[in-house]
Amino acid sequence: MSKIVVIVSGKGGVGKSTVAFNIAYEATKLLSADVILISADPAKSLEFLTDIDDSSEKVNGWFEYINREDLEIEDVLIRTPYERLFVVCSSVEDLIAAQTPEEARGPLEKLLYFKKTLESNPRIGLVIVDTPGSITKSHYYYARLFRPILVTAPTSLELRGARELLKLNEHLEGEHRITKAIVNKAISKREIEKVEKSLNLEIIASISSSQEIEDACNQRKPVSLIAPKSRAARELQEAARAVIMLCSGQLEPKGKPRVRESFLSSISRRLYSIFGGVAGE
Ligand SMILES: Nc1ncnc2c1ncn2[C@@H]1O[C@H](COP(=O)(O)OP(=O)(O)OP(=O)(O)O)[C@@H](O)[C@H]1O
Ligand SMILES: [Mg+2]
C-alpha cells in the first residue's frame, strides 16, 4: 500500500500547507519511522512553516536526486527543527510546463522512480506532498501517481473550486481518484455535513477555524507545541491518525481500540460470570 499522500485543493488558501505540516509533525509522534514533507509549491510555504534554510544546496530536491546517479535519498532530505521530520523541496516546473501527455511522460517517469525509492525505504513511514494554490497540471500529475486527499474550507467558493478539481480527476481509477477529504476552517458540524453532501466524498477529518492555528503559523511552529491542550491540536492529531490509517491500515482511529477493548472485556466478564468465578475478576 502507498505511504505517500498528496494534499490538493480546488482553491488556494484553504490551509493545505498548514494541515500538511501539522499532520506530518503529529505523525512523527505516532510512527517510529521518518516523516517527509514534499514541497511541490513554488511559493515555499512548507519551507517557511518548517523554518528550514531554503537557501540550502538541497533546494532542488527530488529533481536533483532523479537526475544524478551519485545521490542517495538522504542527500536531498532537509532536516527540520523537529525530530524525524524532513522536507524535500521539489520543482514542478517540468510537470506544469508539459502541455501534452507525451511531454509529461519523461517527468512522470522520473516522479514514478522517486515514488518507488520513497516507498521501498523502510526508514520512511509517511510522505505528504503539498501542492500549489490554484489548480494546475501538477495537481493532475501528482494525483496520477500518489493518493490524493482533498483539503477544503466549507464556503461556497471553495466548494466550487473543489468540484472543478473533482471533475478534472473523475476519470482516474483506484487510489488515484479523489475520494477522501479533510475539512479545514470549519465552524460547525453543519458545515462539515454541507461539504460531505456537496462533494460526495468521505470526510476523514475536520479541523476547526481557530486562533491557535493562526498563531502557530505566524510563529512557524506546530499547533501542538504552541497550544498543546487546544481543540485544534486534538483535531490535527486525529487528522494525522486518519491519514496514517488511510496509508497503512495499521493504526486504528483513536478511541476505537478502547471501545473494542472495553466491549470485549465486558463480554469476557459476562461469560466468566455465567460459566464460573466471580464477575468482574
Ligand atoms: N483551521 C484554521 N484556522 C485558522 N486559520 C487557519 C486554519 N488553517 C489555515 N489557516 C490560515 O489560513 C492561511 C492559509 O493557510 P495555508 O497557507 O496553509 O493555505 P494553503 O491552502 O496552503 O494556501 P496556498 O493555496 O496559497 O498554498 C494561513 O494564514 C493560515 O494560518
Ligand atoms: Mg500552501
Tell me the backbone φ, ψ of residue 222, rounded to 5 degrees. Answer: -65, 145
What is the pLDDT, as a whole number, of residue 278? 35
Closest Cα to residue 91, out of 45, 42, 126?
42
CA-closest residue to ligand 1 atom 23: 13
Same domain? For 188 and 265 the reply is no
Q: How many domains does the chain have?
A: 2
Which residue range(s) make up the domain with 266?
255-281
Per-residue cell: 173: 481509477
- Our answer on whether the CB atom of 12 is closer than 6 Å to any ligand 1 atom is yes
Same domain? For 277 and 197 the reply is no
pLDDT for 264 beyond 50: no
- The C-alpha atoms of residue 109 and residue 111 are separated, in whole angstroms, by 5
Same domain? For 156 and 278 the reply is no
- Our answer on whether the CB atom of 9 is closer than 6 Å to any ligand 1 atom is yes
List the beta bridge partners of residue 86.
Answer: 36, 79
- Our answer on whether the CB atom of 41 is closer than 6 Å to any ligand 1 atom is yes
Which ligand is the nearest neighbour of the Cα of 18? 1
CA 195 to centroid of chain Cα atoms: 19
Give the CATH number of the domain where residue 77 resides: 3.40.50.300
- Our answer on whether the CB atom of 18 is closer than 6 Å to any ligand 1 atom is yes
Same domain? For 138 and 178 the reply is yes
Q: Which atom of ligand 1 is nearest to the CA of 134?
A: 25
Rounded to the nearest whole angstrom, what is the distance from the C-alpha of residue 20 to the centroid of ligand 2? Answer: 9
Q: How many residues does the chain have?
A: 281
What is the pLDDT, as a whole number, of residue 181? 97
Query: Using an 8 Å Cβ cutoff, are 40 and 90 in contact?
Result: yes
125-182 confidence digits (pLDDT tens):
999 999 888 776 666 777 778 899 999 999 999 999 999 999 988 888 888 899 999 9
Q: Which atom of ligand 1 is nearest to the CA of 184?
A: 1
Chain mean pLDDT for the chain: 83
